[in-house]
């Protein structure tokens, strides 16, 4: 498709709309794995919402690519059903407009001829819709398909060497299974796309309340002076899930809680909480500081894996009053599985700001409720002027950043109880995101918009991914869950010399996790 340089510049420019937001230039959104659940549940509802907010360009096309033998109409009907189920709408003029811009292409991910046909389809759609040459490729496929798809995109001229506009690729997690595989995948992608055209997505970074961590720290001068080892006793970061496997037993056996949640979501939250303030809120400055923080995390040796990491697996119990089976009774799970459904660990950061301050992180399935939060626990007052009044010991002040589901910020401090005696009671000062009135945008809305705009601030960079894996791979090695030829990392593979603690579904995790903090004279707070 012949495109002049002036036209290429024109189609690459964003437009500022009335709200002050930027609307991307016309582009084609190509989704590999389009017949899967992610497209119906998240991606298309996000595009619909962006269009509703006036942030999707008028000239736009969605091309779904998958192995299933669907035509345009069957694919469109499936997306419409997804909108009805997950976005609460399916019949309005906006969907009717989008529907006519949706196309389907059946392909396997290893056939060069099929990719040449895809290139021809894209040229035809872009010509008919007047879109130009901007293309955003989204890999909603199993991870083993990432490299073959990228390689074939490059082979047929759809990769980073495309000169008719931009060509970007969005890659879902998991990005690698350990440090070695992450490095290999990075090298494979870089053979086709330059780093500034690769968008490694972590949907947690698209959440408004996660982005608010930096705003809270850096836009309010009353907190940042306290954000260091002089005033902070410790930090707790929790991602609790009440759900089980939801039919994903085969995937979870290969993954486990550390790969599924700790290496990405938990380390992302930790890096935003603990990083140094960037010079500006742009992609390079923010990600530079996150990488520095990840490099400052004290490496795990064999002794630290034994003493500072707890892995657990749920057994049968009750969640929300309902009896649920144990992990090994779930479909797709082997009877003697060593896969962890719970991880708790103590991390230390060896830098000037955080030296000596432990960061306790945990995540688990089949816990009592769904909740994600960050609790900054401050050091106790150095001297109590009320020790002779019978007021008792003073509790530590806590600042809690609630990520989900009750999004907001809480500050707990001591106050005098009314009356003649000096009695001190903890009280909460609370902010809820409900104060803003309208509902929050879904994470995928922000991330898809940023990818179309070319803003990679909320996406992970190559060195950031590898730094996170460098922290976690020694833990996997200690557990015996790093891949070796002829084995798979889930199931019965594992270091049985290290205990796999059990916990009842509906509890807050294994006793070993409580003991991890008890050794430091601390306790987990309940989200």
235: left (phi over 0), alpha (psi -120 to 50) or beta: beta
CA distances to 214, 304, 431, 446 from 211, rounded to whole Å, are: 6, 31, 16, 11
Query: What is the three-class DSSP state of 116?
Result: helix
Q: Let me know if 265 is a catalytic residue.
A: yes
Of 391, 380, 377, 384, nearest to 421 by C-alpha is 391
Q: Do residues 496 and 338 make contact, with C-beta atoms less than 8 angstroms apart? A: yes
Q: Rounded to the nearest 5°, which phi and psi values hold at 11?
A: -75, -15
Q: Which residues pair with 215 in a beta bridge?
A: none
Of 300, 414, 373, nearest to 524 by C-alpha is 373
Token readout for 373 is: 């939060």
Q: Do residues 403 and 206 make contact, with C-beta atoms less than 8 angstroms apart? A: no
Of 245, 477, 282, nearest to 364 by C-alpha is 245
Q: Do residues 90 and 484 make contact, with C-beta atoms less than 8 angstroms apart? A: no
Q: How far apart are CA 229 and CA 323, in angstroms?
A: 44
Q: Rounded to the nearest 5°, which phi and psi values hold at 186?
A: -60, -45
Out of 7, 190, 203, 265, the active site residue is: 265
Q: Is the peptide bond before 174 cis (omega within 30 degrees of 0)?
A: yes
> Active-site residue numbers?
265
């Amino acid at each position: 498709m012949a495109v002049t340089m002036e036209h290429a510049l024109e189609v690459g420019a964003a437009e500022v709309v009335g709200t002050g937001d930027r609307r991307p230039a016309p582009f084609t959104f190509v989704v590999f794995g389009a017949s899967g659940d992610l497209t119906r549940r998240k991606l298309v509802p996000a595009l619909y919402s962006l269009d509703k907010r006036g942030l999707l360009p008028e000239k736009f096309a969605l091309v779904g690519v998958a192995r299933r033998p669907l035509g345009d109409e069957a694919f469109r009907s499936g997306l419409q059903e997804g909108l009805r189920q997950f976005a609460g709408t399916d019949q309005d003029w906006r969907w009717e407009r989008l529907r006519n811009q949706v196309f389907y292409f059946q392909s396997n991910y290893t056939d060069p001829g099929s990719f040449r046909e895809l290139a021809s389809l894209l040229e035809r759609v872009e010509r008919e819709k007047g879109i130009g040459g901007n293309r955003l490729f989204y890999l909603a496929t199993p991870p083993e398909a990432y490299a073959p798809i990228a390689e074939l995109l490059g082979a047929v001229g759809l990769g980073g060497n495309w000169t008719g506009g931009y060509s970007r690729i969005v890659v879902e997690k998991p990005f690698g299974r350990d440090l070695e595989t992450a490095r290999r995948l990075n090298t494979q992608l870089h053979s086709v796309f330059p780093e500034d055209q690769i968008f490694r997505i972590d949907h947690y970074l698209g959440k408004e309340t996660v982005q608010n961590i930096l705003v809270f720290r850096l836009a309010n001068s009353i907190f940042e002076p306290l954000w260091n080892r002089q005033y902070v006793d410790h930090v707790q970061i929790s991602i609790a899930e009440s759900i089980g496997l939801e039919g994903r037993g085969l995937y979870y056996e290969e993954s486990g809680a550390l790969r599924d949640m700790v290496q990405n979501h938990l380390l992302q939250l930790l890096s935003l909480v603990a990083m140094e303030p960037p010079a500006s809120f742009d992609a390079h400055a923010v990600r530079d500081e996150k990488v520095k923080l990840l490099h400052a995390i004290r490496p795990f040796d064999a002794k630290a894996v034994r003493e500072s990491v707890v892995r657990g697996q749920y057994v049968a119990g009750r969640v929300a009053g309902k009896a649920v089976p144990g992990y090994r009774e779930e479909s797709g799970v082997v009877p003697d599985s060593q896969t962890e459904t719970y991880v708790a660990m103590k991390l230390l950061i060896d830098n000037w700001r955080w030296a000596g301050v432990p960061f306790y992180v945990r995540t688990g399935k089949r816990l009592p409720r769904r909740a994600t939060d960050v609790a900054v626990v401050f050091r106790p007052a150095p001297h109590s002027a009320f020790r002779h009044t019978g007021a008792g010991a003073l509790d530590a002040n806590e600042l809690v950043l609630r990520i989900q589901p009750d999004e907001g910020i809480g500050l707990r401090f001591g106050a005098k109880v009314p009356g003649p005696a000096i009695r001190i009671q903890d009280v909460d000062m609370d902010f809820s995101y409900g104060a803003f009135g309208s509902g929050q945008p879904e994470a995928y809305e922000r991330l898809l918009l940023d990818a179309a705009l070319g803003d990679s601030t909320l996406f992970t960079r190559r060195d950031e991914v590898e730094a996170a894996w460098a922290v976690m791979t020694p833990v996997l090695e200690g557990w015996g869950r790093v891949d070796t030829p002829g084995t798979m990392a889930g199931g019965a593979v594992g270091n049985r010399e290290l205990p796999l603690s059990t916990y009842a579904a509906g509890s807050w995790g294994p006793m070993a996790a409580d003991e991890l903090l008890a050794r430091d004279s601390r306790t987990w707070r309940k989200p």
